[in-house]
């Protein structure tokens, strides 16, 4: 009888550890694949940013639209907020006073450098993120979302604003760069 109980206990432990290891492995794979896509997204946004002449950075499709440069810097703000604040728990930057991730008085080269740096900081944060926390839920504008979903929302947000920047290139007679796959 004692032998049977020990065998059952050992079986449960082995089964549980196997499932846990598989889930951990899947989460590690998710992060690895996410970062591969994230790096391609960085490459593409930098191509887009380089193509727009600096004298057109303030172009906006309509008076109420964000300008090209505002879209570019808004992407950096969103990366910081989604990763450092939502996922990392750091207090959010004060949009009214913090100018590091806003257009402010930056020229084209300074904005591009800020984008590169923010992508790198965000990539570093995600690469070190504790995957056991991916299923933790957060309030996202009134909706309950996991941290895994927050990463997907961040990718969607970057794509949304970059797509608007591509239209701005076309509206200025500039052929956008060829689409970069898997981003």
* pLDDT digits 0-9 by tens, 121-130: 999 999 999 9
Least confident of 2-6, 25-29, 88-92, 169-173: 2-6
Mean pLDDT for 7-17 is 57
The tally of domains found in the chain comes to 1
Identify the pLDDT of residue 125: 96
Mean pLDDT for 60-81 is 97
Q: Is residue 149 part of a domain?
A: yes
Q: Is residue 70 part of a domain?
A: yes
Across the chain, what does the average pLDDT equal?
89
Decide: 80 and 118 in contact? Cβ < 8 Å: yes
Q: Is residue 147 part of a domain?
A: yes
Give the Cα separation of 100 and 118 in Å (integer).
Answer: 10
Per-residue pLDDT at 24 exceeds 50 = no
The three-point CA angle 131-116-73 to 5° equals 100
- What pLDDT band is residue 179 in, cutting at 50, 70 and 90? confident
CB atoms within 10 A of CB 141: 6
Q: Is residue 14 part of a domain?
A: no
**Which DSSP helix (H) or strand (E) runs through 79?**
helix 68-80
Q: Is residue 53 part of a domain?
A: yes
Least confident of 25-39, 62-76, 105-119: 25-39
Per-residue pLDDT at 11 exceeds 90 = no
Domain that holds residue 89: 37-171
Identify the pLDDT of residue 3: 62
Question: Where on the phi/psi map is residue 90: left (φ > 0), alpha (ψ -120 to 50), or beta?
Answer: beta
Q: Is residue 178 part of a domain?
A: no
Identify the pLDDT of residue 27: 85
The label of the residue with tokens 């794509």 reads 159
Helix axes 68-80, 2-51, angle to 10 degrees: 160
Q: Is residue 143 part of a domain?
A: yes
Decide: 150 and 87 in contact? Cβ < 8 Å: yes
Per-residue pLDDT at 19 exceeds 80 = no
What DSSP string describes 122-146? HHHHHHT--GGGTT-EEEETTEEEE
Residue percentage of the chain with pLDDT more than 90:
77
Least confident of 91-95, 131-135, 165-169: 91-95
Per-residue pLDDT at 7 exceeds 50 = yes
Which CATH number belongs to the domain containing residue 46 in this structure? 1.20.120.450
Q: Is residue 181 part of a domain?
A: no
């Amino acid at each position: 009888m004692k032998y049977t109980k020990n065998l059952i206990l050992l079986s449960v432990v082995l089964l549980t550890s196997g499932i846990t290891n598989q889930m951990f492995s899947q989460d590690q794979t998710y992060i690895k694949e996410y970062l591969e896509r994230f790096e391609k997204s960085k490459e593409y946004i930098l191509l887009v940013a380089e193509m727009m002449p600096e004298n057109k950075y303030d172009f906006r499709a309509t008076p109420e639209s964000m300008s090209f440069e505002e879209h570019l810097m808004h992407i950096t703000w969103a990366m910081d907020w989604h990763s450092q604040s939502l996922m990392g728990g750091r207090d959010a930057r004060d949009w009214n006073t913090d100018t590091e991730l806003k257009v402010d008085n930056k020229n084209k080269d300074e904005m591009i450098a800020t984008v590169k740096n923010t992508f790198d900081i965000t990539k570093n944060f995600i690469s070190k993120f504790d995957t056991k926390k991916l299923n933790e839920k957060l309030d996202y504008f009134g909706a309950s979302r996991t941290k895994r979903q927050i990463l997907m929302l961040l990718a969607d947000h970057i794509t949304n604003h970059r797509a608007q920047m591509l239209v701005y290139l076309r509206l200025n007679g500039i052929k956008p760069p060829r689409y970069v796959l898997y981003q």
